[in-house]
Amino acid sequence: MSFPNTLRNRRASWLLGMCVALCADIGTASAQEKSPEFSQAEVLLWMTDQLSAVTAPVTLMYAFKRSGALEAGFDDQIEFQIRKVHEDGTKSAAVRFFTGERNFPVPPVENTTVNPILKIYLQGDVLEMNRLSDPNGTARERWRYFQRRIKFALAESATVQAHTFEFDGRRWNGHKIEFQPYVNDPRRNLFEKYADKSYSFIVSDELPGYVYQIETVVPGAKEGAPLIREFLQLDSIAR
């Protein structure tokens, strides 16, 4: 996610509003929400108590790297603080998403059971797809289309596999969720350059914070040389 300075203030304002709505909406999913009509990918990403492994205040640091042939890349950090564990199991939490000029405001939340980094990242991702596919700014609401395509992919075509990974000196059990929301899109001609973009998420119920890794890749003309690659991974846990 990388935005020119001319879009920075508008993006920050929009994202702040989005996060306010997000914070009002996040909580433990009900039994009805977990009904069979939802895919396994949807349940894992949106309908799970993602902070159940957190029993005391903790700070999670994520490393972020953007690279690829399209534009200059950068490295940054994301900090997720769980400040208090309430008696009902919900948590008081705050996020600092990127630093310096790239930082944008994310309001703290008093009662949550999810790691908001997932939704914040994906909201930033669809805005970025809007920017890349519409450099003249004539289709400012195209991000809504990309958002719908991601929702459809999670519901209909995402794959889920059991996955183990090494972190902090031990092995963790979790799941890898993968999908390509635009590969069969009937409107891919509008953004052909980015239509083969792939998404990968690694999550674990055992891991404090639940989210271990997010990776998105837009392939380049040469194999192994992506046009855009974004990689977000849990770097450290401070208790």
Taking residues 112-124, what's their average pLDDT? 96
| pLDDT value at 128 more than 70 | yes
Q: What is the pLDDT at residue 94?
A: 98
| pLDDT value at 126 more than 90 | yes
**DSSP state, 28?**
P
| pLDDT value at 168 more than 50 | yes
Residue from 211, 228, 232 nearest 219 by CA: 228
SS3 99: coil
User: What is the DSSP pairing of strand 58-67 with strand 74-85?
Assistant: antiparallel
Cα–Cα distance list, 221 to 128, 137, 186, 194, 195 (Å): 21, 26, 22, 12, 13
| pLDDT value at 22 more than 50 | no
At the topology level, CATH places domain 5-238 in YmcC-like fold (2.40.360)
**DSSP state, 100?**
G
**Segments making up each domain of the chain, as ranges:** 5-238
Answer whether 85's CB lies under 8 Å from 91's CB: yes
Question: What pTM, to 2 d.p., does this model score?
Answer: 0.87
Q: What is the pLDDT at residue 206?
A: 98
Structure-block tokens of residue 228: 């855009």
